[in-house]
C-alpha cells in the first residue's frame, strides 16, 4: 500500500497575493504563475527555500515562471511544524539576481 503524503495547510496566501496585486499591479502572466504555484506549495515548502539572514524564522523562495530577466516574484513564509502550516508573510517582486 502506498504511503500517503501529508500536505501542508496554507495561511495568508490569498491575502498576500491580493496585497501584492494592489501594491505592484503585476502583469497577467505573473498573476497566473503565482496563482498556479500556490497550491503546489502544499507538498514541500522546504524544497528550494532560503533562510532570511535578518529574520531567523522566515524562509523565502523564488516563484517559478515569474522572472522577466530583471525581476522575479518571491514568497516569504514561516513554517509552523507543530500544526503543519505554512504562513505566507509576503509576496513581492525583487531584483532577479537575489
CATH of the domain at 82: 3.30.2310.20
Question: Dihedrals φ, ψ of 45, to 5°?
Answer: -70, -10
In a domain, 3, yes or no: no
In a domain, 2, yes or no: no
In a domain, 25, yes or no: yes
Number of domains in the chain: 1
Domain span including residue 60:
9-95
What is the pLDDT, as a whole number, of residue 51?
Answer: 87
Contact present, 64 and 37 (Cβ < 8 Å): yes
Separation CA 11–CA 13 (nearest Å): 6
98 three-class SS: coil
In a domain, 1, yes or no: no
What is the tens place of the pLDDT at every residue in 16-49?
999 999 999 999 999 999 999 999 889 999 888 9
What is the pLDDT, as a whole number, of residue 94?
Answer: 94
What is the tens place of the pLDDT at every residue in 54-86?
777 899 999 999 999 999 999 999 999 999 999
Q: pTM of the entire structure? A: 0.88
Amino acid at each position: 500500500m502506498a504511503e500517503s503524503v501529508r500536505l501542508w495547510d496554507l495561511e495568508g496566501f490569498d491575502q498576500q497575493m491580493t496585497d501584492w496585486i494592489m501594491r505592484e499591479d503585476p502583469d497577467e502572466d505573473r498573476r497566473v504563475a503565482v496563482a498556479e504555484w500556490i497550491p503546489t506549495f502544499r507538498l514541500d515548502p522546504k524544497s528550494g527555500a532560503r533562510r532570511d539572514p535578518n529574520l531567523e524564522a522566515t524562509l523565502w523562495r523564488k516563484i517559478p515562471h515569474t522572472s522577466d530577466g530583471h525581476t522575479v516574484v518571491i514568497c516569504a513564509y514561516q513554517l509552523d511544524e507543530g500544526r503543519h502550516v505554512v504562513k505566507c508573510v509576503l509576496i513581492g517582486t525583487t531584483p532577479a539576481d537575489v
